[in-house]
């Protein structure tokens, strides 16, 4: 997992310079700022500007689509104010469209406590459409719901990338859809996702002691 994360991280150099800083224009809206510096026409989720981690500093959370010859998906970044109108970008993650997946989208971004400190962490829920290969012998229709958890950080000394809680990611990932019999086309199994909204995820975290 760490090796894969490093490969994804290094591949981002194709799109952006990691840890780069940007100047926000006076009265520039957060979405306009993000589109300008990342040179994109649209964002893949509503822009978030919040003082969740510091009453005097508002971070910006944004997502945009990427595509190259080998890969495609969504990139997530944080923009942290470090001095005046200057912001430093922090890599959140790459949500890739891999084999058997038709598309991926950001469904929800929220904060909840996932460790033993007072500050709440970022949780990102993604929805990925399943498209099994034509001759795979698998007849499934539905979506994977994955939840990704990232630790808070010191806004005075921003990191280059967020720290991911991989064990929690695995705990909160599941499937919603239908599996069909290949020969008869009859329904073999229907499944519902248990963790695709903040309320359900929050309740599970509380049961886990967070």
pLDDT at 115: 87
Task: Flag residues of the chain having pLDDT under 50.
Answer: 1-11, 13-14
Q: Give percent of the chain with pLDDT exceeding 70.
A: 87
Q: Which of 159, 8, 19, 16 is nearest to 89 (CA)?
A: 19
pLDDT at 148: 97
pLDDT at 16: 59
pLDDT at 9: 47
% helix, strand, coil for the chain, step of 5 = 20, 40, 40
pLDDT at 185: 80
pLDDT at 69: 72
pLDDT at 96: 85
pLDDT at 2: 43
């Amino acid at each position: 997992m760490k090796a894969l994360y490093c490969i994804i991280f290094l591949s981002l150099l194709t799109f952006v310079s990691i840890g780069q800083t940007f100047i926000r224009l006076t009265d520039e809206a957060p979405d306009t700022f993000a589109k300008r510096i990342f040179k994109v026409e649209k964002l893949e989720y509503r822009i978030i500007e919040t003082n969740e981690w510091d009453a005097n500093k508002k971070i910006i959370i944004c997502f945009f689509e990427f595509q190259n010859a080998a890969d495609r998906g969504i990139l997530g970044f944080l923009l942290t104010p470090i001095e005046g109108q200057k912001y430093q970008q922090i890599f959140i993650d790459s949500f890739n469209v891999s084999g058997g997946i038709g598309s991926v989208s950001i469904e929800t971004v929220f904060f909840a406590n996932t460790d033993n400190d007072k500050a709440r962490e970022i949780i990102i829920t993604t929805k990925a459409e399943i498209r099994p290969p034509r001759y795979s012998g698998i007849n499934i229709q539905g979506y994977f719901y994955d939840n990704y958890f990232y630790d808070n950080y010191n806004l005075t000394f921003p990191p280059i990338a967020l720290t991911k809680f991989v064990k929690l990611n695995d705990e909160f990932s599941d499937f919603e859809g239908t599996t069909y019999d290949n020969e008869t086309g009859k329904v073999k199994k229907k499944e519902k996702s248990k963790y695709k909204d903040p309320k359900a995820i929050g309740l599970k975290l509380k049961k886990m002691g967070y």
